[in-house]
Structure 1
Amino acid sequence: MSFVIHGATGAQGAPVLAALAASGASVTAVSRGAAAVPDGVRTVAADYASADALARAYEGADGVFVHLPLGAPDDRLAFARNVVAAVERARPARVVVSTSGAFTDDAAAAGGGPADPAVGHLIEGVRRSGVSYAVVAPRLFLENLLLPPVVGGAREEGVLRYPLAAGLRVSWSSHLDVADVVAALLRRTDVVGTVAVGQYPAVTGPQLAAAFGDRFGREVAYEGITPDAFAGLIAPLLGEATAAGVAGLYRAIGTLPDHAIAPVDSAQELLGLSPRTTGEWLVDLGL
């Protein structure tokens, strides 16, 4: 089988590519430049800004994995439109979309927070195309905890600081978990619609801190900080605009009773795939 992977050298795409390549599948990495990919992996130069280039990349594919890159809202919406146009034209056998943790229209309607127009357009456009599809919907990525101000505080000070209330339960998942689900869904055409990815039961901040403490061999406490304070910590790393967007997301999450998946549409229920615990994830990373 042949699969096309967007962001194949990035945080979400790279583990998907690795899982598929390890299974013996033919994998094509979509790249906007001369990004390094593993030996034996075909690379196609295609930019989200060109529906024609994307369509050429998708032609004949058994499956396409898509997730939108970070960027200005108008750019992301244009990218989504181009992906949809390419899918309509090339008609790959299967498309799997990751929300990358963004709120979709359904989540927003249920009080989950402001919907991401680009992700919403992408999902609706793929659905309307009639191509077989599935949507992978993680909540928050454990990799967010690897930002130096977060993991550094846990390791060096014994304090895990994050912009969530201590008692808020969240269905965390890792990029590795998402890759497992995407790789399965590219082949499991019997599973359609949204598949939630994340730990269930959801976990609290102190439970996260305890997992870090077990791994680091020291007591680690949890400290919930404000989204604005968190933005100040990460702005030197990600830039002011990105940090402000992150703060907005966490303000929205902070209004929720929880940020947990529902078992009925979970990867556990639909695919028999359980995400890593926080401790297992830390071990897998070798931290």
Structure 2
Amino acid sequence: MSNQKHRILVYLANGVQGGAVAREAARRGFAVTALVRDRAAGANLAQAGIDPAHGDLADPSSLDAAHAGVTEIVLRMPIGPLDRVKGFAANALAAARKASVNMVVLKLASASRPAPCDEPSFVANSVIEAMVRSSGLPYAIVRPTMYLDNLLKPGVRQEVAVDGVFQVPIDISQRIAWTSADDCAAAAMTLIENKTSGGDYLISGPDSVDGAELTAALSVGLGWKVIYRSEPLDDFEREVEAVMGAGEGKRVASKFRFFQDYKDEADAILARPYVPQPGLEGFCPSSIEHWARRHVNAFTEMPQQVSAR
């Protein structure tokens, strides 16, 4: 497939996950349009050879303009009230139909359950998936396990860099085949290059590890000892509430409570290592150690870093 005649529109391109998709598409020789609300972020993308398109998910006319010349889209939806997100998705899919795009890759933002259940984030994912499946457009769904990039959030990164601790509200015994934003971006682009539609793809890492094994691999990749700490869910919920406002702690913690309460479900969603799948020929996920080596500068450049190693 020659990528030069294809233009990819990447939604939420100024975020970690969307930015990874935009950069991977550009690296593979696609023309890339990045949908952004923040004009400053658009300027940064332009420096990387990516064409920013200023748009608003609530404004159908801006989405129509962003789809000009687009052949495929990588769709992500922001977190928010379900009715609002459904409206955003409807606008995006309507613009994609008007543009007669060849394919939509729905890239889910977090671990999710293919079958419906009552957990709010799973419900939201299920609704958006159903909209994509019934849109009449060729599609593929990219479903992650859990992102190693969570370690790059400022507070978490500080703890890893300064204290040598990775704290997360998941029991140390839970096995997870950790993925990354870069790997999910590579999977999305591979599906487009291979013209693979109609599938639902779990993108996980090559190794299923518990918390101690995770931090052992991180320690090798980063070059200093990191330990795993399971944060009590009540503590996590209170911390989120303090930062994000009333009700947000319960919403964010709900998925972690689901994993805690339904161990078999958690294993099915999180623990399975990557298995080669038709349509993803050429895709190979990265190891935890490799990811850590690639991102070590993000930790070593932290201000006021001390040696607790």
Q: Which range, TM-score by smaller chain?
A: 0.7 to 0.9
Is 1:68 aligned to residue 77 of structure 2? yes
Structure 1 residues 205 and 192 mapped into 2: Cα distance closer, same or farther (>3 Å)? same
Q: Which of 229, 251, 259 is the aligned partner of 1:253?
A: 259
Residue number in structure 1 paired with 2:304: none
Aligned residues, how many?
A: 282
Structure 1 residue 79: Cα displacement: 1.1
Report 1:52-201 matches (<5 A): 52-104=61-113, 106-108=114-116, 113-114=119-120, 116-201=122-207
Structure 1 residues 170 and 262 mapped into 2: Cα distance closer, same or farther (>3 Å)? closer
Structure 1 residue 282: Cα displacement: 1.1
Residue number in structure 1 paired with 2:286: 276
**Structure 1 runs of 4+ off > 6 angstroms?**
none
Identity of aligned residues (%): 27
Report 1:199-214 matches (<5 A): 199-214=205-220
SS in 1 for 2:132: helix
1:44-86 per-residue CA deviation (whole Å, 9 max, x = no partner) reads: 2221112343234224422101101122333212212222322
Structure 1 residues 228 and 102 mapped into 2: Cα distance closer, same or farther (>3 Å)? same
Structure 1 residues 159 and 31 mapped into 2: Cα distance closer, same or farther (>3 Å)? closer
SS in 1 for 2:19: helix
Kept after mapping to 2: 8 A contact 1:149/1:234:
no
Structure 1 residue 42: Cα displacement: 2.2
1:210-263 per-residue CA deviation (whole Å, 9 max, x = no partner) reads: 123324444433221222212344555555554432211111122233243656
What letter is aligned with 1:18? R
Give the TM-score taking structure 2 as reference length: 0.80
Kept after mapping to 1: 8 A contact 2:165/2:227:
yes
Kept after mapping to 2: 8 A contact 1:138/1:196:
yes
For structure 2, the residue ranges without an aligned partner over 5 or more in a row are: 1-5, 300-309
| Separation in structure 2 between the aligned mates of residue 124 and residue 9 of structure 1, nearest angstrom | 26
Superposition RMSD on alpha carbons, in Å?
2.6
Structure 1 residue 132: Cα displacement: 1.4
